[in-house]
Amino acid sequence: MRLKDGIFLSGIMLITLLSSTILLLFSEETEDIFLPIVKLAMGIWIIQSIFILFGHSLL
C-alpha cells in the first residue's frame, strides 16, 4: 500500500462519505455523540497510513 496507489485518499473519501450519510440519518442529539467516533476513525486511518508509508515493511 503506497500513497500513489490512491488508497489513502480513497480511504479518506470513503470515511467522509459514509460518516456524512450516517450523520444525515441521525438526529441532532446523536450527532454530537457520533462525531467523536468519526474523528477517531479518521485519526486511526491517517496514523495507520503514515506508519505504512514511512514505517518498516513488517510493521
Judged by the rule CB under 8 A, the positions of this chain that interact with other proteins are 4, 9, 12-13, 16-17, 19-21, 23-24, 35, 38-39, 42
Given the complex with other proteins, which of 28 and 57 has the nearer CB atom? 28
Mutual angle of helices 28-54 and 7-25, in 10-degree steps: 170
For residue 58, the 8-state DSSP code is: T
Given the complex with other proteins, which of 6 and 55 has the nearer CB atom? 6
Q: What angle do CA 6, 11, 13 make, to 5 degrees?
A: 95
Given the complex with other proteins, which of 8 and 59 has the nearer CB atom? 8
